[in-house]
Structure 1
Amino acid sequence: MTALSLENISKSFGDVQVLRNIDLVVEPEEFVVFVGPSGCGKSTLLRVIAGLEDASAGTVRIGGRDVTRTPPAKRGIAMVFQSYALYPHLDVEGNMALGLKQAGESRAVIAERIATAARMLSLEPYLKRRPSELSGGQRQRVAIGRAIVRKPDLFLFDEPLSNLDAALRMATRVEIARIHRELGTAMIYVTHDQTEAMTLANRIVILRDGRIEQVGSPMALYNDPDNLFVAGFLGAPSMNFLPAGRLGAPGATVGIRPEHLRLATEGPLAGTITHVERLGADTNLLVTLGSGETLTVRLFGQHPQQVGDAVALAFDAASAYSFDAEGQRIRF
C-alpha cells in the first residue's frame, strides 16, 4: 500500500492554472522533497494533499484511501508550517496535547505520546514553558512534536526551517532526518532550499510552472538531469552553460559544473578572473571569457588567484552535458 498517490492532479484559481496533471506515488517510509522556484506550485500541491485546497481535477489517495473530498482532520496527516502556529496561552505540553484532547484520546495515551515526542526532540526541560519563553528553534521543535504525537499516516512540512538562522537550520535539519529514521513514516517536505532537498530526501520532485520536471534521488538528479532546467537548478554554484560553438562543436548548449572546470596552462577556454569567493574549504572563481560569458570555477581548498588574473580553463569531455534547442538532454 502506498503512503500517497496523486493521480492527474490539477488546480486552478480562476483562469490561472497553477498545477497541471500531477502524477506521483510516495511509498511508505519515503522522505520526498518538493523543490522548485518561487511560483512553481510546490506549496499549492502540498495544500491539496493536506486538504487545505481542493483539487480542480484528479484524485488524492493517502494510505490507499481516496481522500480527495475528505476534510484535513480526517486525512491521517500532520502538518508543520513555516510559522510555528503555537497557542501563546498554552505551555509546550498543552500545545502538544491539544489535538489529542480534541480527538478524545485518554490522559494516559496523551501523556505517553508527549513523553515520547519530548524525549525525541530534547524538549523535556521545556514542557511547562510558554512559546514566548522559547527560542525560534525550540518553538519549531514544539511544532514538530505536536505533529509527532498525532501518529499520522503522512507528515507534511511546509518550509519549516525558513525562519531559523543558518546554524539552527542545519541542526534542525539533522533532527528531522533522525526523526524520520526513527518513526519510519512517510514525509513530504516543501522547500526552496536545495541544500535541504539534497540532504533530506530519498527522492526529490522538481517542479516548474505547475508541472513535474523530474523525479529521482538527489544524486541521480544531480548527475543525470533530464533537461537544462533541472541541470541548472540543482547545484551551488549552479551549472555553467555555453553555446557549443564556443568549444568548436556544432548545435547544442553545453553544460559544465563548476567543480569540473580546472585551471590549466592552456585550454579550450580563456578569460579573466572578475571575482573571487574564498570560503576556506573551497574557492570560487568567476571567470569572464573573451566572448563575454562568465563561468564559475569551483576549486577545492585555498588558492592564491586574484581579480584581474588571466587564466585558461580545461575540463574532461566526459563530464560535460549536452542539451538540444528545446533544452532537453542529449545522451550519447
Structure 2
Amino acid sequence: MTALTLTNVNKSFGKIHVLKDINIQIEEGEFAVFVGPSGCGKSTLLRVIAGLEDASSGEIQIGEDVVNLTPPSKRGIAMVFQSYALYPHLNVRKNMSLALKQEKQPKDVIEQRVAEASRMLDLEDYLDRYPSELSGGQRQRVAIGRAIVRHPKIFLFDEPLSNLDAALRMNTRIEIAGLHSQLAASMIYVTHDQTEAMTLADKIVVLRDGRVEQVGSPMELYNNPANQFVAGFLGSPAMNFFPAGVVGEGGNLTIGVRPEDLRLADDGALSVTVNHVEKLGGDTNVIAHAGDQRITARLFGQHDIAAGQQLQFGYDSARAYRFDDAGHRVR
C-alpha cells in the first residue's frame, strides 16, 4: 500500500516559487530521505505534507485520503523537529503523553504507550526528569518518543540531528534506523547531510531549487546518478570533475571520477601536485590540483605522501562518468 503520494505539488510565497511540480510516491513502511543543499525546499515540502503550510496547487494523498484541506492534527502524522520543541515545565513522561491527553485517550492507553516508547528509546530512568536535566541526545529521544506514542501513519523528521555533536549524531542515527525496523513505519526524513541520507534511506529524493532531481535507493543514485548535480552531491569525499581535455579525451565533456576510483600509477592520465594529505589510519585522502582543477583521491591504507609532492593518478575509464555542458549524464 502507498503511504504518501504527491502529485504536481507547488508552493509559492508571493512571487517566490519554492516547490515546483513535485511528484513523489512513498510506500508503506518505507524510509524516505529528502536531501539537498540549504534553500532547496526540502523543509518546506515536509511542512506542506504535515499541513503546516498549504500547497499552492497539486494533490497530497496520505494512504487513500486526499488531505489538502485536512488540518495537521487529523492527517495521522507525527513530526520531530530540529529544535526538540519540548515543554520545559513538563517532565519527560508528561511531554511524551501530552498529545494523547489532548486527544482524550484513556489513561491506561496513555500509560501503556509511554511505557512502550520509553523502553524502545531507553528512557525509562528519565521519565521524571525535566528537559533541562537531559543531554541533547536524550532530549531528541524524548521528542522522538512523543511522536511514537501517537502511533502515526507517517513519521516526519526535520533535520533532527543538526544540534547534536558528531558522536551523538552517529549514535542517534543508529537508534532511528533501529526504530524504523522495530516499528515498520513509514518515515520521511529531511537532511542536508548526504551521509545521513545514504545510511538511513530505503529511498532518497534529491532536491535542488524546488525540483526533484532524482529518486532511487542510495546505491542506485550513487552508482547511476542522472546528472552532475546528483553525482557531486552524494559521496564523501565528493566526486571529482574535470574537462575531458585534461586526460586527453575529445569533446566538450566533463569527466567525473569518484575519489576511491583514483589509483596511484606511474603512467596515470592525471598529473597532480599535492596540496594537503588527510591521514585517517584506514584511509588516506590526498587533496591535489591539476592545473586549475582540484582533485581528491581516497587511497586505502596508509601512504607516505606529503604536500608539494608530484603524483600521477589513473582510473578505470569504465568507472568514469561523463556529462554534457548542461550537466546531464551522457554515459
> How high is the TM-score relative to the length of structure 2?
0.99
Aligned equivalents of 1:271, 1:31: Cα separation in 2: 41
Deviation at 1:18, TM superposition (A): 0.4
Equivalences for residues 289-304 of structure 1 within 5 A: 289=290, 291-304=291-304
Aligned equivalents of 1:96, 1:271: Cα separation in 2: 56
- Three-state SS of the structure 2 residue aligned to 1:329 is coil
List, as ranges, runs of 4+ consecutive aligned residues in structure 1 with deviation greater than 4 Å.
none
The equivalent of 2:80 in structure 1 is 80
The equivalent of 1:210 in structure 2 is 210
- Three-state SS of the structure 2 residue aligned to 1:231 is helix
The equivalent of 1:103 in structure 2 is 103
Where does the alignment leave 5 or more consecutive residues of structure 1 unmatched? none
The equivalent of 2:137 in structure 1 is 137
- Three-state SS of the structure 2 residue aligned to 1:313 is strand
Aligned equivalents of 2:279, 2:307: Cα separation in 1: 12
Identity %: 65
Equivalences for residues 45-194 of structure 1 within 5 A: 45-194=45-194
Aligned equivalents of 2:5, 2:210: Cα separation in 1: 17
Please list the CA deviations of residues 232-264 of structure 1 after superposition, one character each: whole Å capped at 9, or x if unmatched.
111111100111111221221110001101111
Equivalences for residues 267-306 of structure 1 within 5 A: 267-289=268-290, 291-306=291-306
Which segment is superposed worse, 61-70 or 147-156?
Answer: 61-70
Aligned equivalents of 2:3, 2:163: Cα separation in 1: 29
Please list the CA deviations of residues 83-105 of structure 1 after superposition, one character each: whole Å capped at 9, or x if unmatched.
01111111100001110000010
**Paired amino acid for 2:247:** L
The equivalent of 2:254 in structure 1 is 253
**Paired amino acid for 1:311:** L
Aligned equivalents of 1:70, 1:244: Cα separation in 2: 53
The equivalent of 2:243 in structure 1 is 243
Which segment is superposed worse, 9-18 or 267-276?
Answer: 267-276
Deviation at 1:325, TM superposition (A): 1.5
**Paired amino acid for 2:186:** A
**Paired amino acid for 2:54:** D
- Three-state SS of the structure 2 residue aligned to 1:187 is strand
Deviation at 1:268, TM superposition (A): 1.0
Where does the alignment leave 5 or more consecutive residues of structure 2 unmatched? none
The equivalent of 1:42 in structure 2 is 42
The equivalent of 1:13 in structure 2 is 13
Aligned equivalents of 1:130, 1:249: Cα separation in 2: 64
Deviation at 1:292, TM superposition (A): 2.3
Aligned equivalents of 1:148, 1:312: Cα separation in 2: 53
**Paired amino acid for 2:64:** G
Aligned equivalents of 2:289, 2:327: Cα separation in 1: 23
Please list the CA deviations of residues 240-291 of structure 1 after superposition, one character each: whole Å capped at 9, or x if unmatched.
01111112212211100011011112211112111111122211111211x3
Aligned equivalents of 1:144, 1:160: Cα separation in 2: 9
Aligned equivalents of 1:70, 1:171: Cα separation in 2: 36
Deviation at 1:164, TM superposition (A): 0.5
Deviation at 1:316, TM superposition (A): 0.7
Please list the CA deviations of residues 267-324 of structure 1 after superposition, one character each: whole Å capped at 9, or x if unmatched.
11112111111122211111211x3212001111111100111111111111100111
- Three-state SS of the structure 2 residue aligned to 1:265 is coil
Please list the CA deviations of residues 22-48 of structure 1 after superposition, one character each: whole Å capped at 9, or x if unmatched.
001100000000000110000000000
Deviation at 1:63, TM superposition (A): 1.3
Aligned equivalents of 2:247, 2:305: Cα separation in 1: 24
